[in-house]
Structure formats: C-alpha cells, structure tokens
Amino acid sequence: MKTTKTIAILGINGHLGHSVALAALGAGWRVVGFGRSNKYLIPGVEFLAGNADSPEDLSRATSEADVVLNALNLPYDKWGNGAAEALLARVIGACSGRALLFPGNIYNYRATDRVITPELRQEPETERGAIRVRMEQQLAAAARAGTLQALILRAGNFYGSELPGDWFGQLILRELGKHRVALNPARSVKNAWAYLPDLAQAFVAIAEQRHSFGAFENFHFAGHLVDADQTFAAIQKAVPRKLQRVGYPWLMLRALGLFMPVIRGLVQMRYLWEHELGLSDRRLDGLLGANFGTPFDAAIAVVAAQHFNRVASDAAGRSAAREASAAVGAARMPAK
C-alpha cells in the first residue's frame, strides 16, 4: 500500500518552486525537483534534470507524483505567440490523473477592481493578462475533461525568497548599502505582497486537502496588503540606520526598456502599482486557519537580514576572487 505522498515541482530553481520544496519537505512530502540543472541544491529533494520543451522529460518528472506544482515560467518577453499556452499544454499532458497546482496572479483583472475574489469576472488590462486568462481557461477545460484536478492559488508580488533576484532585492533594497530604499511613489496605494514561506505553506495545505475539492478550484491568497509608507516603516524598523526613501526609477526603467524587452514588459505593468488590487478569499482563510501567516514586520525583518547576508557573501566572494587573482599573478612573475 502506498503511504508516501509525492509532489513534483516543475521549475525547482525559481523562487516559488524552491520555497514550495522547502515547505513540502517540512510537511513530510517526498519532493521531486525538475529543472535544467540543480542550481540551488536542497537536501532531501530528488532532482531530475530535463527540458520543459520535452513532453518526455516532463512526463518522467511527474511519473510518480500525486501532486504537481507548475512553477515553470517563461521570461517576461517570451510569453507571446502562444509560447506560454504551449508550455502549459505540455505540463497538462504530463499531469494526467494528478492534481496540478498552478500559481495565479492579478494580471487577469481590471486596474479598478480593488478587491479581487475568486468569483470576480476576469477582464485583463493588457495582452499579458489576456495570456494568463487563456492559460486558466486551458486548466478549466482539462479539469472538465477529467484529465486532471486543477488547483489555482492566486497571489500578489512574491517576496521573501531565499534565492537572489527577486523584486525586493533587485529594486526596493538595491541601494540599501547606501541607506536608500526605493518604493512606490504612489505612497497611499496599497499593493498585495505574498511572503513566499507563507504562500508555500498555503500551496502545501491545498495539496494535502485536495481530495475535498472539485476538479477545478480558484483560491486567492490575501498575503499583506500594504502601502509604501507601511513598507518603509517596516524596513526602517528592521535596519539599524537612518534610511532615505526614493521612488521607483520609472524613467530609468522606461529608458532601459528601449533596449531590454524584459524591462519593457515590467514598465507595461506599471498600472499595478498605481491602483490598489487586494485579494480576498474567505474559504481559503478558513482552510488555513485564523493564526496562519507571518506578520508583515516580521517578514520584512527576515527579508532585510537575507539581503544583508547576500551582500556580505557577495563581497566576501569578490574579495576572495581578487586575492586568488593576485596570488596567481604573483606566482606567474619570474623569480629575480
């Protein structure tokens, strides 16, 4: 009799995939990680190398799974021409008879919707949002056909990853070493943030209760709905130095976007920072429990500590590289 619960994580090297792997291991799951390389080794994860363009590789990764998390994501500028839908179609083909966890976002909705519930109609503002709507329609069609169980968990901006390269590290805390923090210049507009350790636990909770759900479900993760003033106060509280607040460098990003398609795509989604879009789901709140989640100030304190540790590690690495280079140069000098 099978007693082990297995989750296959497609895209183990991304922020979400990595975080869910840690949460699933902590909850006693067997975790199979899939990616091009085992870039960020996680003890306890069974890694399978493969290419998401290959249906055979995807099927091999999911072959023993009860649940699959689709944490694969194309670069921002590569979503078009049906590429995102084609990738999801390959994932669906590899998940027959299984539960598929899918991370939704808020691109599917109007800028003026303010409170986004699972029942709210979807009317995207951009082509990128229209792509996300079509992808969710693919999942609904597969669920209706009995191919799989599709469980969407929608959230706001991710933060709190153990890995480098997230929005907080690359933009908001980018100049923290210079005592500067970049935040939304629309100071009173609240934005939805999803602390990744909490969101990962929510994914695991949904996976563990999947048998009580229908073939297609859409959950909304509220996370932290905060404005720039609250975010700055939390960062200042966590950092033992006086900080200066600056706005997001939209002009610089727009200029970079002329040459960098990924940045251009980010600028096109600027409306998300200019309108309050919060998520609400009483059913998910009941499923997770009243005391679920990390307080915002505590989460920001962890994020700030991670950033400082990363900066210190990078600096130490650069120093060691310079010392090694100097030693090699000295060794190559002819003896006098």
Report the distance separating Cα 253 and Cα 176, nearest Å.
19
| 2 pLDDT tier (thresholds 50, 70, 90) | low
Per-residue pLDDT at 230 exceeds 70:
yes
- DSSP code of 156? S
Give the pTM.
0.91
Report the distance separating Cα 11 and Cα 14, nearest Å.
6
User: Is residue 49 within 8 Å of 37, Cβ to Cβ?
Assistant: yes
- Give residue-wise pLDDT tens across range 33-71: 999 999 999 999 999 999 999 999 999 999 999 999 999
* Cβ-proximal residues to 69 (8 Å cutoff; 6+ apart), any chain: 7, 8, 9, 10, 11, 16, 17, 20, 100, 101, 203
Residue 9, both tokens: 């994580």
pLDDT for residue 167 = 79
Token look-up 């600028």 returns 267
Domain boundaries in the chain? 6-313
Annotation: CATH topology of 6-313: Rossmann fold (3.40.50)
